[in-house]
Structure 1
Amino acid sequence: MLRCTMLDWEALNGSDMRMGIVRTVRKSTARSSRSWTSPLVLATFAAAGALAASAVINRQATQKAERDNPPTGRFLDIEGVRLHYVERGTGEPLVLLHGNGSMIQDFETSGLVELAARTYRVIVFDRPGYGYSERPRSTVWTADAQADLIHAALQRIGVKQATVLGHSWGASVAVALGLRHPEMVGSLVLASGYYYPTLRADVVTASGPAVPILGDLMRYTVSPLLGRMMWPLLLRKLFGPSPTPTKFDGFPVGMALRPSQIRAGAAESALLLPDAFAARAKYVRLKMPVAIIAGEEDRIVDIDRQSQRLHDEIAQSTFDRVPGVGHMVHQSATERVMAAIDLASEKQTRTASTDKVVPFAAKG
């Protein structure tokens, strides 16, 4: 009897232990299952999936944009940088440098290239990182660095002196070219430029995709999609109060929203204030004719604090304030920009015939 009781007790006790282990395992499994299905984990997986999907979509959009808009110009290899440019017409050289986020097609759709090519040898560059030009990460592409690159490219194609037009950020490159290589620049045309540092909250937000790692993630995933959503708003800010002209429909939006071009634009946004700060005291060294032009209703740049101030500092400059026009003055007032080019070129010719310009040494 006692033996049976002991055996029964051991069996019962062993059964309880096994049941306890089973219950513990079940509880642990349940907790593990709940952790995998928690809102935070599910949200993380959903976000990762969305980012992966957007990366695929953006890659396909980039490939389509490049198929639809193949290079139309020539390529130069300048110090390891592949630079794309278009050349039209014959005559005295005219160099066109586009703004931040843009490319050759900006000038082409404006009609300025076709108009100028009637009397000038027009040379339009995709600046580093835009269109089909490379932008190696090994270089900080300040206005000075880009000016040196453009100078070397112009020398390569046999240009000794040119009228140089820069729009927006391209105006900073044009000024740097005039300061560092004055023998190359016969005259300057500066459209809607930014020359003096001011408080710019938009610079901070626009610089995000240039931040290493996080910026790379942004520009391959969310930035192109946000760019497409915000494109109509951006156009209103760029062109306003003028309507966006129908000719701008030919601008390849898909090319502008490629990850590589977004990085270039973000990097230049980050460099905007430092470059303006570095150049602010040098403008008086410009001795060639300078034609300044800007839209009076510019919503990107305060022209009184920028173009007007520059005009006041440069004795040999002219300033055309175009009423009712915004930042994209070359698109909205193409004939006025063409007139500024002709004026600068004529002054260059008169100066060359009466004076011998002594160039300043290039400085960093």
Structure 2
Amino acid sequence: MTRKPNKKLARMRAAAATPARRSFVARHARSLGAGAAALVGSAVINRIQARRAEAKTPPAGAFVDIDGTRLHYVERGQGPAVVLLHGNGMTLQDFEASGVLGLAAEHHRVLAFDRPGFGYSSRPRSTLWTPTAQADVIARALVQLGVERAVVVGHSWGAMVALALALNHPEIVGGLVLLSGYYYGTIRPDVLPAALPAVPVVGDLMAMTLSPIAGLLTGPIALKASFAPAPVSDKMADFPAGLALRPSQIRAAAAEGALMIPAAMALAPRYPELALPVIIMAGEGDLVTFPRKHAERLARDIPGAELRLVSGQGHFLHYGVPERVTASIAALILRAKMPASRDAPTA
């Protein structure tokens, strides 16, 4: 039996073959091609900018290798050991630019680390870089460098790494100075969008193309919020922002954003175990890690901890009051009666 022709299908095929339809498809194909070309172009530009940033700010110190993880660190001064751990998205130059490193090195042996994935330290993808994982690597590096006991200073995300060091490697840590830390799991609507570059494949594409540009555009707003209520410090001009906009560091920062809440929740039940001198510092106006939710609560949970709130300062208080930070370091060294650190062996 002969089938009747499908008039509706015939009309659709005829419409698809019209010049208007062909023009519509061509226009979208051109748009997709232009978008792909823009992504490729931005990836090339970002790569060039990353190389320029590295040429402008080459490694400032030395390297120590721990089971496939290469840590970059700067060492200065002599005396009791002090370890500096920067926050998320930053590098060890954060302590250099703020003045904390130089002031502390006048009387102490100071080691400032690029945490895994930041600055010139590697971040193998085979490891989930929780505060505990980072503390384990840094503890082994300190042993290799001849550090037996140290005051550990951690800022923001670095404060969680400092806490993990004290909890899991108490033989190495003589005291803690915690700056503007995030210590408890709280609702953070800003975490999800910031963590997108950590998503496999899609995140890699974002980190190579769009995220560095977005970071360049939104950086001034983020800095203003981090310093508020204080103005953005002129010292930030000395921080190598170009290093922070490299795709590799953007991925590391996004991963730490995604881990922030669960990491704090994992550490929080153990805070009462700490039995060492602790000074908790926070800016009273901190809009990033609110002192009442974190610093003040932590001071209640750690036996004998001392809380030092700084008026007129925000999340980046160490730029505004580096002398107070180094005074806290000196106070802990006296309280813990820490001896001068021996010279480091060859790494």
Structure 1 length normalisation: TM-score?
Answer: 0.87
Q: Is the 8 A contact 1:291 1:343 kept in 2?
A: no
Q: What amino acid is the match of 1:130?
A: F
Residue deviations 1:83-102, cap 9 Å, x none? 10000000000000000000
Q: What amino acid is the match of 1:163?
A: V
Choose between structure 1 and 2 for higher RCO, CA contacts under 8 A separated by at least 6 residues: 2
Question: Which 5+ residue runs of structure 1 have no aligned equivalent?
Answer: 1-23, 353-364
Query: Matches of 1:55 and 1:33 in 2, distance apart?
Result: 32
How far apart are 1:248 and its partner, in Å? Answer: 1.4
Q: How high is the sequence identity, in percent, across the aligned residues? A: 50
Query: Is the aligned partner of 1:319 residue 2:307?
Result: yes
Query: Is the aligned partner of 1:171 residue 2:159?
Result: yes
Query: Matches of 2:304 and 2:332 in 1, distance apart?
Result: 10
How far apart are 1:33 and its partner, in Å? Answer: 4.0
Which residue of the partner structure matches residue 319 of structure 2? 331
Q: Is the 8 A contact 2:277 2:332 kept in 1?
A: yes
Q: What amino acid is the match of 1:155?
A: V
Which residue of the partner structure matches residue 345 of structure 2? none
Equivalent residue in structure 1 for 2:331, among 343, 346, 354: 343
How far apart are 1:199 and its partner, in Å? Answer: 0.3
How far apart are 1:246 and its partner, in Å? Answer: 1.1
Residue deviations 1:219-258, cap 9 Å, x none? 1000000100111101101111111111110101110000
Q: What pairs with 1:196-215 in structure 2 (closer than 5 Å)? A: 196-215=184-203
Residue deviations 1:291-325, cap 9 Å, x none? 10000000101111100000011121101000010
SS in 1 for 2:250: helix
Q: CA RMSD in A?
A: 1.7
Query: Matches of 1:43 and 1:274 in 2, distance apart?
Result: 41
Which residue of the partner structure matches residue 4 of structure 2? none
Equivalent residue in structure 2 for 1:137, among 107, 112, 125: 125
Query: Matches of 2:135 and 2:270 in 1, distance apart?
Result: 15
Which residue of the partner structure matches residue 37 of structure 1? 26
SS in 2 for 1:61: helix
Query: Matches of 2:224 and 2:153 in 1, distance apart?
Result: 24
How far apart are 1:334 and its partner, in Å? Answer: 0.8
How far apart are 1:41 and its partner, in Å? Answer: 2.5
Q: What amino acid is the match of 2:189?
A: A
Q: What pairs with 1:63-78 in structure 2 (closer than 5 Å)? A: 63-78=51-66
Structure 1 residue runs of 4 or more that deviate by more than 3 Å after TM superposition: 27-33
Q: Is the 8 A contact 1:209 1:263 kept in 2?
A: yes
Residue deviations 1:154-212, cap 9 Å, x none? 00011111010000000000000000000100001100001110000011111000000
Query: Matches of 2:60 and 2:21 in 1, distance apart?
Result: 59
Q: Is the 8 A contact 1:96 1:124 kept in 2?
A: yes
Structure 2 length normalisation: TM-score?
Answer: 0.91
Q: What amino acid is the match of 1:110?
A: S
How far apart are 1:123 and its partner, in Å? Answer: 0.2
Equivalent residue in structure 1 for 2:211, among 213, 219, 223: 223
SS in 2 for 1:115: helix
Which residue of the partner structure matches residue 104 of structure 1? 92
Aligned residues: 327
Query: Is the aligned partner of 1:86 residue 2:79?
Result: no
SS in 1 for 2:211: helix
Q: What amino acid is the match of 1:273?
A: I
Query: Matches of 1:231 and 1:279 in 2, distance apart?
Result: 30
SS in 2 for 1:207: helix
Residue deviations 1:101-158, cap 9 Å, x none? 0001100011111100111000000000000000010000000000000000000011
Query: Is the aligned partner of 1:232 residue 2:201?
Result: no
How far apart are 1:43 and its partner, in Å? Answer: 2.3
Q: Is the 8 A contact 1:98 1:126 kept in 2?
A: yes
Which residue of the partner structure matches residue 234 of structure 2? 246
Which residue of the partner structure matches residue 60 of structure 1? 48
- Structure with the greater alpha carbon radius of gyration: 1
SS in 2 for 1:280: helix
Equivalent residue in structure 1 for 2:39, among 51, 55, 69: 51
How far apart are 1:30 and its partner, in Å? Answer: 4.0
How far apart are 1:28 and its partner, in Å? Answer: 4.4
Q: Is the 8 A contact 2:274 2:303 kept in 1?
A: no
Query: Matches of 2:269 and 2:36 in 1, distance apart?
Result: 48
Q: What amino acid is the match of 1:37?
A: A
Query: Matches of 1:148 and 1:315 in 2, distance apart?
Result: 24
Q: Is the 8 A contact 1:311 1:317 kept in 2?
A: yes
Q: What amino acid is the match of 2:127?
A: T
Which residue of the partner structure matches residue 17 of structure 1? none
Query: Matches of 2:328 and 2:185 in 1, distance apart?
Result: 25
Which residue of the partner structure matches residue 10 of structure 1? none
Q: Is the 8 A contact 1:93 1:162 kept in 2?
A: yes
SS in 1 for 2:337: helix
